[in-house]
Amino acid sequence: MRRPLLAGNWKMHTTVLDAYLLVAEIGKCSAGLKDRDVLLAPPYIALHAVSSVLHDSDIIVASQNVCWEENGAFTGEISPTMVKAVGGTAAIIGHSERRQIFHEDDEMINKRLRGALKFGLMPILCIGETLEEREGENTFAILEGQLRKGLAGASSEDMGRTVIAYEPVWAIGTGKTATKEQAQEVHAFIRKLLAEIFEKDIADSVRILYGGSVKPDNVDELMAQPDIDGALVGGAALDAESFCRIINFT
């Protein structure tokens, strides 16, 4: 049985003060949720504020990306040990905005994933096709490439704390959600692929999140799909009421 994981990616939103206010609200509405995990990924500058508010909560704090080195000449980057030092235990890796706007390729994403694993963070590897790729019927080939290359070098043991997020690029921030059937089809494909790369037991235990315009009014039907184990939420994670409804999905 896979434990649901509801993750909020705040992207480049919230000052430290905004982050304090938002996390306080989310802390209240997530207290008492024993059968699911909640994760927040604030901007780096608010990681410490958010994890200090959450010090006696089970909410997981994540960075929105992470470098593969512990320290060094990597201007603008954050290291896994820095994330851990401020209470973070996870990192989003390979988000489509990193791939598209900042041109991170599969090789770099794989380095980041292996760095996160090496230093004990839980990586959330994001994969997803563009509209053009979907319309050209290349969805599965694109996802297979991103998954195989992103996970290169990860062991079966590493998969015990790795999460995959399927985020169709055409559904991110657009208000267009994949239908529950489209999402389920892809999630089942990813799980089958994980069974090929690793083994069935591993594939059955890995959490696969859906991301792309998840909102209070579609979360329940998405979460009812057999291979959807959670959600990675952008826009709706910035509104406490919406995110609280999402994490309280039924």
Q: Is 13 a catalytic residue?
A: no
Tell me if 232 contacts ligand PEP by CB under 6 A: yes
Closest contact distance (angstroms) between CB of 210 and ligand PEP is: 9
d(C-alpha 139, C-alpha 120), whole Å: 31
Site for ligand PEP in 57-86 (CB under 6 A): none
Total residues contacting ligand PEP (rule CB under 6 A)? 14
Q: Does 167 bind ligand PEP (CB under 6 A)?
A: yes
234 forms part of the interface with ligand PEP (CB under 6 A): yes
Residue 145 binds ligand PEP, judged by CB under 6 A: no
Catalytic annotation present for 77: no
Interacting residue with ligand PEP among 172, 190, 208, 209 (CB under 6 A): 172
Q: How many CB atoms lie within 10 A of CB 241?
A: 11
Q: Which residues pair with 127 in a beta bridge?
A: 166
Pick the closer one to ligand PEP by CB: 193 or 231: 231
For helices 106-118 and 139-150, angle between their N-to-C axes, nearest 10 degrees: 40
d(CA 152, CA 133): 23
Catalytic residue among 97, 129, 133, 167, which? 167
Regarding 169 and contact with ligand PEP (CB under 6 A), the answer is: no
**Helix locations, 11-62, DSSP H:** 16-30, 47-53
User: Does residue number 131 form part of the binding site for ligand PEP (CB under 6 A)?
Assistant: no
Q: In the set 213, 228, 246, 247, which binds ligand PEP (CB under 6 A)?
A: 213
Shortest reach from residue 134's CB to ligand PEP, in Å: 16
- Cα dist from 168 to 119, 134, 199, whole Å: 29, 9, 25
Distance CA 121, CA 70 (A): 12
Q: By CB under 6 A, name the binding residues for ligand PEP.
A: 9, 11, 167, 172-173, 211-214, 232-236
Active-site residues, by number, are 95, 167
